[in-house]
Structure 1
Amino acid sequence: MTMKIVDIRERTLPIASNIRNSFIDFSKMTLSLVAVITDQERDGRPVVGFGFNSNGRYGQGSLMRERFVPRLMEADPETLHDDSGLIDPHRAWDTMMTNEKPGGHGERSVAVGVLDMALWDLRAKLEERPLFDLLAHRFGSGTPDPRVFVYAAGGYYHPGKGTQGLQDELTSYLDRGYTVVKMKIGGASLAEDLTRIEGALSVLGEGQHLMVDANGRFGAAEALDYLSALQDYDLFWYEEPVDPLDYAGTRAVTGRAGGLPIATGENLFSHWDARNLGLYGGMDPERDYLQFDCALSYGLVEYLRTLEALGELGWSPSRFIPHGGHQMSLNIAAGLGLGGNESYPDLFQPFGGFPDGCVVEDGHITMPELPGIGFEGKSDLAKVCRELLD
């Protein structure tokens, strides 16, 4: 019997927080949570795939309802399946992108990325295996590595939170097993940011490291001013020094970075943009890091193309550490050998973080053997998912 998608539901939910980076505040931030419901059952319940977008881009329910969900629901079910009779996210992706012109991605990359996440969750659940295991056998080495490096992202600008508050926050992450922590820069003067950086460095111990993130705030000249100051410190990386599409500015920074790694890519949404970064951004595949986030960039189907495009330019998957802090990227990291994943220990809950019982040890977590992406293993997230079904 051919399986069918019987319903697709979206709900826009708040993930607001009284914080800001150098560019935006998060006081009205939202995301889209999606459920793809099928006529298949496991243990007497319908098999459902869930997906949602990362922070920094808003919920995209209207785009889904107007274009992408109708295309999936109106398609002949057999055109969405592979030879096994199960949902094929690649064919579903082609269906969603019917009558979409190339380029000019706008917000549609987020809408498709959310649905793509749900479809991969669904596919792995139908096979009754973790997604990372499916990915390793289909696209990777055949052997997943369930131990994944994670770093703690935070250090936002917050009203009334001075250097001591920043130190307390980062210390709490280190106390929970993280070895690498990240803070924001570019939302204050260079002198103030340097005071904050020195305060953050003062709480680190042996084997612990600090990242700094400018969120694309600077033009090339100011980014280079910061670079000159940052080179006095032993940092893990300098993130998004310029606008993500300013390849000349990126090249100016990377060309003078010396031994300081540069990280960028979270706001590039296609494999073509990623390829242009690799061709024209001057980044070093042996030193630098790439942060493409599948939930914001058309999903895993497009992410696989990005890995291939950058691989042709000398980039190993181990230099990819995605933005977003969600379990989808954790599965990709474990299945395809990425270098790790971002994590939000306290922010954007319940969508960030790990399944219950996962602990950070020496900067790594071990993926549990849960079917699909594993959302049901995180009790607070599972509750929200159930509410969408109810």
Structure 2
Amino acid sequence: MRIVEVKQGVAPIRSDIANAYIDFSAMTASIVAVTVEGDAGRATGFGFNSNGRYAQPGLLAERFVPRLLSADPAALTLPDGTLNPAGGWAAMMKNEKPGGHGERSVAVGVLDMALWDAAAKLEGKPLWRLLADRYRGGTADEAAWVYAAGGYYYPGKGIDGLLEEMKRYLGLGYSTVKMKIGGSPGVPLKDALPEDLRRIEAVLDLLDGDGSRLAVDVNGRFGLHAALAYAAALEPFGLRWYEEPLDPVDYATHATLAEHYAPPIATGENLFSMVDCRNLIRHGGLRPDRDILQFDPALSYGLVEYLRTLAMLEAHGWSPRRCVPHGGHQFALNIAVGLGLGGNESYPEVFAPFGGFADDVPVVDGRVRMPDAPGIGFEAKSALYAVFKDLAG
């Protein structure tokens, strides 16, 4: 196997939406096309980074693309002649010191995604099937549980607009929805709780009072005092989860919150290495019988590192079913089905064209069955494939 060509570009995903911490008015994403050639032929794999982190053209051009292009063909080839993405990963990380996880993990994750797309295409398989065959004895889930992530703040959007949005998601086949809290425009944090309770109660009325069908997301804005105040108010609702209430690397404060809030807590989307994830498991007080881990393989050095993270979780008594990746993209959806995760996020209306799944893949009762398209399946998502096709030329 050898890397023939790597192309990269930057795509806008800007939007007027906002969460409790940032707006998306200048958000971008890196896109790549990696062409691989071997005895079985040639294939081009595509990759991009998830929303919430910006494009990384500098890191890609200066360090990671040149290293990938110089990767040893022997390291890229498994004994059966198939593509070994871990060999490409090792080449990209040559001469990188431990620690410093963050932006470089995004750049490596973009290229890693493309390598896995190419690997599956070279074998003529969907990625979910390749993963099940390589790592799960051929067993893949029949479908993935998915939830609709939305409820962002938007200029002029009140409770009526929020409810109309949630109705659209339910009409698309989702049974569980997620909304943002902690950042109502013009409302100081100290006064935000009453407004958020009104928004939450309105959505719960739409869901027939079933709190297990609603998750709320703070995007790391709270300190301990606000997190505890919200926890006390949220607990009676029995929500699906209370997401990222605290700074993602403030593990001791997470442990304190977990002592006071019995329902599920979800976090992890802003941890970008196995070691950081391990620190969360060791020190964050999270509970393997209920809490949700949202590590995003596209942001955290890719699937090669995510496999290490899953092995670490197993060693610490956590099931992969507790993992529901952030990002709402087809890469994580393939991983969820192929490796038996607990589900996947979905963005039906935001972060186009990267959010959402293949065009002809419906959501039925909150679940998605995977198509048999080779690779990750980008070609079956017309708006996204148009972006990649322009890049690949």
Fold agreement, TM-score > 0.5: yes
* Equivalent pair of 1:41/1:47 in contact (CA under 8 Å): no
User: Secondary structure of the residue that 2:75 maps to in structure 1?
Assistant: helix
Paired residue for 2:295? 292
Matched, 1:212 2:212: no
Within the candidate set 24, 35, 40, 1:37 is matched to 35
Judging changes above 3 Å, is the alpha-carbon distance between structure 1 residues 141 and 288 closer, same or farther for their aligned structure 2 residues?
farther
Counterpart of 1:334? 337
1:156 counterpart = 2:152? yes
Aligned AA (2:18) = R
AA aligned opposite 1:74 = S
Deviation at 1:96, TM superposition (A): 0.4
CA drift at 1:138: 1.1
| Structure 1 contact 78–85 (Cα < 8 Å) conserved | no
User: Which amino acid counterpart does residue 230 of structure 1 have in structure 2?
Assistant: L
For residues 20 and 41 of structure 1, the distance between their equivalents in structure 2, rounded to whole angstroms, comes to 48
Mapped contact 2:248–2:271 kept (Cα < 8 A): yes
How far does residue 121 in structure 1 lie from its aligned partner after superposition? 0.4
Asked whether 1:229 is paired with 2:233, we answer yes
Over aligned residues, Cα RMSD in angstroms? 1.5
Provide the residue aligned with 1:67 in structure 2: 63
Q: Distance in 1 between matches of 2:234 and 2:208?
A: 19
Q: Is the 8 A contact 1:141 1:336 kept in 2?
A: no
CA deviation profile, 1:236-270 (whole Å, cap 9, x unmatched): 10000100000011111111112x10000000011
d(CA) in 2 for partners of 1:86 and 1:308?
A: 23
The aligned counterpart of 2:189 is: none
CA contact (8 A) 1:240 1:264 kept: yes
Secondary structure, counterpart of 1:9 in structure 2: strand
Match of 2:43 among 30, 41, 47: 47
CA distance in 2 between partners of 1:286 and 1:351 (Å) = 32
> What's the CA shift for 1:206?
7.3
Which SS does the other structure have where 2:363 is aligned?
coil
Matched, 1:243 2:250: no
2:54 to 58, 64, 69: 58
Q: 1:46: Cα distance to partner?
A: 4.8
What one-letter code is carried by the residue in structure 1 that aligns with 2:233? A
Equivalent residue number for residue 201 of structure 2: 198
**For residues 309 and 41 of structure 1, do their structure 2 counterparts lie closer, same or farther at Cα, with a shift above 3 Å needed?**
closer
**SS state of the match for residue 374, structure 2?**
coil
Partner of 1:17: 15
What's the secondary structure of 2:157's corresponding residue?
Answer: coil
Shift of 1:83: 2.0
* Distance of 1:201 and 1:227 partners within structure 2: 17
Number of the residue aligned with 2:270: 267
Amino acid at match of 2:234: L
**How far did 1:194 drift?**
1.0
Give the SS at the match of 1:231. Answer: helix
Q: Which amino acid aligns with 1:73?
A: L
Per-residue CA shift, 1:86-116, capped at 9, x if unaligned? Answer: 3211111111000000111130000000100
Instruction: Please identify, of 132-141 and 159-168, the stretch whose mean Cα deviation from structure 2 is larger.
Output: 132-141
Letter in 2 for 1:241: P
Query: Does the Cα contact within 8 Å between 1:136 and 1:143 map onto a contact in 2?
Result: yes
Aligned 8 A contact 1:167 1:203 in 2: yes
Asked if 1:379 corresponds to 2:382, the answer is: yes
Q: C-alpha displacement at 1:62, in angstroms? A: 1.1
Q: Does the CA-based 8 Å contact 2:42-2:122 persist in structure 1? A: no
- SS state at 1:165 partner: helix
Which ranges of structure 1 fall in alignment gaps of 5 or more residues? none
Q: Which residue of 2 aligns with 1:187?
A: 183
TM-score (normalised: structure 2): 0.95
- Structure 1 residue 39, shift from structure 2 partner: 4.0
Q: Which residue of 2 aligns with 1:343?
A: 346
Q: Deviations over 1:198-224 (max 9, x none)?
A: 111121137671100001101111100
- Relative to 1, partners in 2 of residues 1:142 and 1:38: Cα closer, same or farther, differing over 3 Å? closer
2:328 matched residue in structure 1: 325
Q: Of residues 125, 132, 144 in structure 2, which corresponds to 1:129? A: 125
The counterpart of 1:366, out of the listed 361, 366, 369, is 369
